[in-house]
Structure 1
């Protein structure tokens, strides 16, 4: 089930850099520069989409568009529900690597 908490976690906790890296050759090119992660904007194609580390959103300084993890997945051919499922798996793995519990475990404990 897709909850507000899951969507918020995908947007805020799952690093955009991780999503770009996981997309690999199918995704945009990216680079770390001047302390920021930048990648090729899915809308205009310029490598000026810069991730704000405070909110994990990318803003393109060429076309002005904002992008989050779900937007990025959808641009590269995934429908909304499959994109969320893929990102949920990546988030669970990311949290596991950090030693945190998975979102489904957190949701269960919060609803009890």
Structure 2
């Protein structure tokens, strides 16, 4: 725990679906015509959307982009290492951080 390869961190960022993480974290959501909207964990507004092509969530009020790591850190107030350990089981396979 505590030292992670760039490849492993990229996997966390890219392979853990941002929409699913929003649901896992039990954030309040609203479904727009093409985008999932969620209550921003920073400013608490709903001027948000997710982009499945980039696997990012964005708050247009506070102008913050969230990847899965950023989102978990913002919602849970955990450290980076705690967040990475929390996300590990959410990967589609359980290869090590290697």
Give the TM-score of the pair, scaled to structure 2.
0.81
Q: Does residue 47 of structure 1 match 2:38?
A: no
Q: Which sections of structure 1, spanning at least 5 residues, go unmatched?
A: 96-101
Q: Which sections of structure 2, spanning at least 5 residues, go unmatched?
A: none
- For residues 36 and 90 of structure 1, the distance between their equivalents in structure 2, rounded to whole angstroms, comes to 22
Give the TM-score of the pair, scaled to structure 1.
0.72
Q: Does residue 18 of structure 1 match 2:41?
A: no
- For residues 12 and 37 of structure 2, the distance between their equivalents in structure 1, rounded to whole angstroms, comes to 19
Aligned pairs (5 A) from 1:86-101: 86-91=86-91, 95=92
- Give the CA deviation at 1:35: 2.0
Give the match for residue 98 of structure 1: none
**Rg comparison, structure with higher value:** 1
Aligned length: 95
Decide whether the 8 Å contact of 1:58 with 1:66 is kept in 2. yes
Secondary structure of 2:50's counterpart equals: strand
Decide whether the 8 Å contact of 1:58 with 1:67 is kept in 2. yes
Give the match for residue 56 of structure 2: 57
RMSD: 1.9
Give the match for residue 104 of structure 1: 95
As a proportion of its length, which structure holds more helix? Answer: 1
Give the match for residue 85 of structure 1: 85
Ranges of 4+ aligned residues in structure 1 off by more than 3 Å: none
